[in-house]
Chain A
Amino acid sequence: MRLEIKDLHVFYGKIEAIKGISVVVNQGEIVTLIGANGAGKTTTLKTISGLRPVSSGAILFDGQDISGMSAHQRVEIGISQVPEGRGIFPGMSVLENLEIGKYFRKDRKSEMQEDLEKVYSLFPRLKERTSQSGGTLSGGEQQMLAIGRALMSRPKVLLLDEPSMGLAPMMIQNIFNIITEINKSLGTTILLVEQNAQQALQRADRAYVLETGKVVKEAKASDLLNDPAVREAYLGTGAH
């Protein structure tokens, strides 16, 4: 698996939200995209998933340009996203939410139980709540459900849009631990979008810094953690 975004431009009407960014995600890596509000992080992930059309540039998945492929086919080839705000189906139970994560694989019914067990072992809390409706879960539980649901399709690459948003510090630790575990033990490649730069940079292998639709910095995550400019702008601990 190798995901490569080449000189991507994306518009909302006449407004150019993504102004030519290039990002590479290699097999087995955790890559993080950090940046302030409105930098274009969500738009980038939506475009990779096929929810926004590409104006110019390419999205290569294992060398093949997928920018013309419809969104559901991208899930089939192994790109799964946990969207910003989690995207839980509120009127469905926890179990139904998980099952629908495997929707397109009706030929793989036999995998269902195995994958449910896999998700429950990562998130034991979900197992206790299989029949509770998704809309009544706490924020942290919803995030667990959203990640578990995305894993049901056995993705090759998992796109995570601000998984720590709105969570208490304990839960943030918990979620990031699990993301690391998914990467290490399941071998799933991860593209992580975060505002919580501290956590993201500690967990990631490489990082890109986005500002108003452009990549302004690209480096090993550990280097960015010690970069004074990044510390000042995103970690709130710069020298004053």
Chain B
Amino acid sequence: MNFSVLTSQFWSLCLSGLSLGLIYVLISLGYTMVYGVLRLINFANSEIFMVGTFATVWVETGLTGHTSNSNPLHGFQLVYTLLFALVVSMLASGLTAIAVEFLAYRRLRARGTNRLASLISAIGMSIILSESARILTHSRPQASPRLMEKTSFGHIAGANFRIDTVLVVISALLMFFALDRFVNKSRLGKAIRAVSMSEENAKLMGINLNRVISVTFLIGGLMTGAAAFFFMTVYETTKFNVGFNLGLAAFTAAVLGGIGNLRGAFFGGIALGLLETMSAAVLGSQWKSVTVFVVLVLVLLVRPNGIFGEAIQQTRV
């Protein structure tokens, strides 16, 4: 155990914990938004994330012809390429999410089957997606080329403000706040909230339930896809099973904050990212999952609805 890193590298750990945490936040939105409207854990969300990482690699290598030996891009070309990869990753994940809903959940819902059937269907979709990716990539890891030089803005309070970390933190924050605003202020966002408070009463308002559900999956998928791009920008490699650990962590973040609650996912994700980074530094990285789950169990023992659980109750009938 090495507690001295906590003091010597505190700010640096905070920064990397924050960027990891924000990636968790965006993925956990995929779980939490769907849970909000359907009361269903979309287990396929981890594979929706995986699809995003593959889409990012595809744009960055296949489409631009960039290889690991090429020189880093600069200026406008860099911005274009990164933005393009972000958009494609978001779309790939968003459309996958809509397809999953359509194929795996919609019919079951129309027949009025119980939640367990949907849950098993979700696990089935998750296996189909990850196994397809395994076959297509022959189980080999896929690497993103380093498009940008990972220069540092310099050290502030001992923390290394590397460009990719800063980029992730700022963009992820912007995305989260844009989503939060959309859900609270826009007409469609209000419909999503109405459905999550009461499906029946939402229908009585003339809300087209299936359409709102599709939109919810789309938005959750877009956010998960953005997370996939950010993940590739920082960590640079992916594999068919990349979603397993990240999906589990993001799901944990959602539960920690109180599932179904956007701001809960936000604080849950950041708390988890920080916790994981700090505990890896102190105890060694092999212990990080253990710490995370010990904390999760402790929190749920004290607050079974998650940290912000009460806020959810308030918004539900």
Contact = CB atoms under 8 A, between A and B. Distances in A.
A227 B205 CA distance: 38
Interface in B161-219: 187, 190-191, 193-194, 197-198, 200-201, 203-209
Contacts of B203: 49-51, 71-72, 75
B69 interface: no
Contacts of A72: 203, 206-209
A153 B193 CA distance: 19
Contact of B204 (A83, A92, A135): A83
A164 interface: no
A14 B298 CA distance: 44
Interface stretch (A95-103, A176-184, A188-196): A95-103
B314 interface: yes
B137 interface: no
Interface residues of B, number: 20
Contacts, number: 76
A12 B217 CA distance: 30
A80 interface: yes
Contact of B190 (A75, A76, A96, A104): A96
Contacts of A83: 200-201, 204
Given A90-B314, A100-B191, A75 B197 contact: no
Contacts of A105: 206
A104 B207 contact: yes
Contacts of B200: 46, 51, 83, 87
Q: Is the interface of B mostly helix, strand, loop or mixed?
A: helix
A99 B190 contact: yes
Contacts of A76: 206
Interface string B292-317: 00000000000000000000001111
A202 to B, nearest CB: 27
Contacts of A49: 203-204
A91 interface: yes
Nearest to B190: A100
A81 interface: yes
A22 B198 CA distance: 30
30 contacts: A46-B200, A71-B203, A72-B207, A72-B209, A75-B205, A75-B206, A76-B206, A83-B204, A87-B198, A87-B200, A87-B204, A89-B197, A89-B201, A89-B317, A92-B190, A92-B194, A92-B197, A96-B190, A100-B190, A100-B191, A100-B205, A100-B207, A103-B194, A103-B205, A103-B206, A103-B207, A104-B207, A106-B187, A135-B314, A149-B205
Given A71-B209, A83-B200, A90-B197, 13 more contacts: A80-B204, A89-B193, A89-B317, A91-B315, A91-B316, A92-B190, A100-B207, A101-B205, A103-B190, A104-B205, A104-B206, A105-B206, A135-B314
The 7 closest A-B pairs by CB, nearest first: A75-B206, A91-B315, A104-B206, A87-B201, A71-B203, A72-B208, A72-B206
